[in-house]
Amino acid sequence: MTLERQIKFWLGALAVLVLFLWLFSGILLPFVAGMALAYLLDPLADRFERLGLSRGASTLVIVLIFALVVTLVAVLIMPILANQLGGLVERLPSYVAKVQALAASAMEGPLGRVLGSSSKDLESQVAGLVSQGAGWVTNVLNSLWNGGQAVVSIVSVAVIAPVIAFYMLLDWDRMIARIDSWLPLQHRATVRRLASEMNNAVAGFVRGQISVCMAMGIFYAAGLALIGLNFGLLIGLSAGLLGFVPYVGFGSGLIAGVIVAVVQFWPDWHYVVAVLAVFGAGQILEGYVLQPNWVGKSVGLHPVWLLFSLFAFGSLFGFVGLLVAVPLAASVGVLARFALEQYLASPLYDPSGAAHHPHPAVAHPPLIEPAPQADRPQVAASVRPLDA
């Protein structure tokens, strides 16, 4: 097969994938969630197998443990979060009024003379910002509801996704082996290497980042609760959950925590400093301890590329797009690096062939690479999954 035909084939496959996601995005959520859950739990199933359990028993134990954890969270934590969310919505008007009053009193002093604004101007500006913020939140909630009927989607994910995860996890090794047997013999080694790099990138980021988000949510919630901040559990856990997107969780949690602390404790500024200290310590813990050890620096997902992929796939395919954004972004990154390697090692970059690029990536084998002779017989039955 010529290079031109290969390019046409893969572009056609990409077009079919995009068309499939666009056509069935309304019903894919529980299936994508189930496959993602099976992917995340597959290393645990492999570990249970190494301890002597069968694949079926390992899968059953994992699903039961997962169901128990979800049930405990729903029974113990969700009522508290719902209560705090209701209290925050109820107190929001009084919080806005208190912030307006504090800002107006500050504008009556030297700050107002420096800025050249009056308290009335500030009140009108704050009122405008609040109305815009309320409208934005309303539009977001309406779009979430109308885009897929949120309640139905949540119920379908809670009921169907674990069932899909069970069957996917049960057959994961066989599916990987079957897909491996379909790889073209001439390029099998190269495709395996690229698939392994994609798996490492996705696994390193997704599994590591989920662990970091959970740890940071617990840290922020515990720290704010110890301070005595109203809605500290809600703010802390939300900051940890939103931490999957770089800087969004930290920024939103810090702003919400400081605003609530000012309204609740002012003029005692020590509590505001304590809130700042909690988020500052959290950033140090995340940046210097958790991220290097749990996520690592070899994932290859730049924060800008991650943000772009989340926005792009989210706008195209809704919540399903958000679920597949990170794996697709990591995969595209691996393919882009591989394409750059091939370009640097090709006559298109250096027709004479004399240049030597110092990047270690060019040491990888070229695209057209015959597979070893040992790979040509029926190899699928002995192939282990890529992350085993």
Q: What does the pLDDT look like over 39-64, one tens digit per residue?
A: 888 888 889 988 888 888 888 888 88
Cβ(369)–Cβ(189) below 8 Å: yes
Cβ(257)–Cβ(264) below 8 Å: no
Report the alpha-carbon distance of residue 150 to residue 321 in Å, rounded. 15
Residue 307 or 285, more confident: 285
Nearest to 322 by CA among 313, 331, 330: 313
Mean pLDDT of the region 183-210 = 81
Phi and psi at residue 266, to the nearest 5°: -60, 135
Cβ(70)–Cβ(230) below 8 Å: no
Cβ(153)–Cβ(318) below 8 Å: no
Domain spans, the chain: 187-347+356-371
Find the distance separating the first CA and the last CA of the chain, reported in whole Å.
Answer: 32
Mean pLDDT of the region 191-199 = 85
Report the alpha-carbon distance of residue 62 to residue 203 in Å, rounded. 18
What sections of 73-187 are H helices per DSSP? 78-107, 110-115, 119-148, 150-170, 172-181
Within 10 angstroms of residue 3's Cβ, the number of other Cβ atoms is 9
Model pLDDT, residue 220:
93
Model pLDDT, residue 128:
61
Cβ(365)–Cβ(344) below 8 Å: no
Tokens 């009084």 — which residue? 94
Please tell me the chain's helix, strand, coil percentages from 3-state DSSP, rounded to the nearest 5.
80, 0, 20
The 10s digit of each residue's pLDDT in 241-253 is: 888 776 778 888 8
Quickly state the pLDDT bin for 222 (edges 50, 70, 90): very high
CA 66 to chain CA mean position, Å: 19
Residue 347 or 152, more confident: 347
Residue 330 or 138, more confident: 330
Model pLDDT, residue 119:
52
Mean pLDDT of the region 2-8 = 74
Q: What percent of the chain has pLDDT over 70?
A: 72
Average pLDDT in the chain: 74
Report the alpha-carbon distance of residue 38 to residue 36 in Å, rounded. 5
